[in-house]
Structure 1
Amino acid sequence: MTSVPHLLTEIPGPRSRELHAQREAAVASGFGVTLPVFIASAGTSTLQDVDGNTLIDLASGIAVTSVGAANPLVRQKVAAQLDLFTHTCFMVTEYEGFVRVAEWLNDHVPGDFEKKTGLFSTGAEAVENAVKIARAYSGRPGVLVIDEAYHGRSLLTMAMTAKEHPYKTSFGPFPGDVVRGPNANPLRGAGTDAALAEIERIVVDHGADHFAALVVEPIQGEGGFVVPAEGFLAGLRRIADAHGIVLVIDEIQTGLGRTGRLFASEHDGIAGDITLTAKALGGGLPLSAVTGRADIMDAAHAGGLGGTYAGNPLACAAALAVFEVLEDPDLLPRVAGIERSIRRHLEPLLVELDIVAEVRGHGAMMAIEFADPGTLAPRADLAQRIASACHAAGVITLTCGTFGNVIRLLPPLVIEDAVLEAGLEILAASIRSIAAEEAAA
């Protein structure tokens, strides 16, 4: 492998800048962009742009291309399906791929009970359909979510999402019957006992028959890759059981090997009544799933679930390839090795630099948070400057967090050791450089 990143021009290069100008004229301005670089091709863990630059991918399309953006098995299975047909709509005429994907998820999603699955296209669709199913099952209207949560960009999921800008600004009013409880954020939030006590109070105050669903990410995504304090998820499971609430585990970003377990909820030894998957599920093609207890999943009436593109056959073929990759016995131990490498590069910065507030996460879902020492006042400006320095050096990183002060790392699960090391060295050097500038200012 040629050493990476391999840069022939500045980032973005002249051809990318030309195409970006065309984009600005043609594409609605509401679509943001992290790095205005146009991609021509991809490798296992690298992206090649139209100017001939090779970039290290530590973003995976926001956890979508977990098995690589050009995985040969995904391409092979999608190409074979493409030779047969592209679409029929599963609600009109059926095809086997949909059933096989559902069977795999029923077998592998946590929970020692009979399961059924529905397939859709996007993560937000999965969340909304989980709410629909929980309401049909329980006969209740309310949805309980957690502070700092992110669940999507549709109107209902925006109501469930905590972060105001850019997701909710100017788009309201939003659907009602969504109530937010505290998060057990070890760095900034309440402790486990206090957070659970407040959630219990919320449930009791609204009445025993109000909440259909309690929806939670086992590790928060856009909220800042927040790993909840020990016992929090198990406590939510107890509250849901005590009050007959459907516990929905949103594994859209955390699932399918991302955290070193097949599902992140396994770290806490719990199972949702319903578990949601998307992102990595389709290997780069749009696919999402709602998998849950069979009696809950069957509560929706015939015709009540679906969608024109739900479980598209090409996306199902891609998912079956993803499953084959995930079944490699060496893969999940390798993800644990990715975490060790990230911690080895970043945890020394906790001692070295006072702007580094926390390094956290599991597996290939890791984050580093920046804040003023003592006060923990969020420093989104530092996170953005560090991300920009990485981009200029040919490493794709993403920011996140309620305050925008977190850099999140989502490398492909199949990233080569040398590529990961090169990317982490550039990230650590960028952090040190920006910290030095800050100290000198």
Structure 2
Amino acid sequence: MDIKGIVALDDREAIMAGPGLPVSRSDPAKDQWDDRVLARLRQAMADRDLDALLVVRAENVCWLTHWWDHGQMTLMPSEENAWVVVPREGEPFGLGTGAVSWGMEMPTRPNWLKQMYAFDMASFDGEAQPTCRLLKHQGLGKGRIGIEVEWMPYQYVRLLQEQLPEVEFDGSDAIFYQLRSEKSAFEIEIIRKAVGVFNESLEVAVEHLSRNRDIERAMRVLSTEMAARNGRAAIVPTCQQYGFGWLGEDSQDGRIARDWFNAKTYDPETELFRGDFCMTYEGYWVDLSLYEWINPDKARSQRAQIHEQQQRLDEMQLLMNRAIRPGMTGVEAERAIEQAQADTGMDFHYWFHSIGLNIHEQPIVGRGETARSDVRYEVGVVACTEVFAEGILYEDMVHLTENGWTYLTTRRPFIRGDAAP
């Protein structure tokens, strides 16, 4: 094959010997899941009358190939790219630049990704033109090809259209939103481990804070403990960053939201510790909130009210969880939550977003969000269930099973030392 800008990587054994990477044994569970993904992709293509999918968005490529920077959830190294082409008929193939072409040859890749090619240069222009030549060579220079139009800048779409004038391009974003939301057993296991890492690290940091009352050191302890367990910490400190502008600058809800996110993470007077904490582990995100009176003595006079407050927030969260059932689209889930609120008289702001290789994945519903009708909540979804009421963000992670939503996280009591709610 002689295609300008493309180098075929035909000799897998020689390639593997190059960087000295061992070929691991096949994992039957992973292979079974990969085969299911390929079958689902091809069924989606048949439903949309597509001849192929051209996958460019980094997290979708990472998800398909199982190859990402486990700390940053980006292709390694970040300045290099990889694409995957999945025809409805015939063998899929991958394209990468530099180290990516080696990395995609690692044994983590799906068993059906056997054909590999390398780009000569790392830029969209430098990759698109030879890729289009390769698509023509593979018989995909005509017909309908799905691309990720919601992510891809318009100039990139134009470039593909110019290079492949006989191809009709169709938005395929919802295909990946749906499939990525339905987590595999090994993804669920990683997320469970991630939650464990988060909880262990947080407990060490809270214990340090209760003894020393030094929030800066406690946050360093939290980050250090997470890193020691292969996790990476992040904190969302302000409501502006979190996207509360839609509540209205002068509205009561807007002021409450700003109070929450602009408040001190730790108040030395009340010894109240609160915040919205995020962490990645093996590429997957954990997203949880915390509201805890570190010194029980400081909460003694308000103990009954604090317990009642947490109970109310629990009821709000459970109301939302029970409203969302398997098979519902985002639009249907949003209507169900609003109806449940109307039926019970509970009024609260909410967000219910899937989570995985990205912190916010589809399907997403919530006030201020645009619910989708083309992505459904199906068994396997992992989501963050967030209630914002009474000046508190109350957030946990849940997993949708055949029997409904189950909690992946254990909610800490609002008063340290009390029994879990």
TM-score of Structure 1 vs Structure 2, range by shorter chain: under 0.3
TM-score, normalised with respect to structure 2: 0.25
Please identify which structure carries the higher strand content: 2
Alignment TM-score, normalising by the size of structure 1: 0.24
Higher relative contact order (Cα pairs below 8 Å, separated by 6+ residues): 1
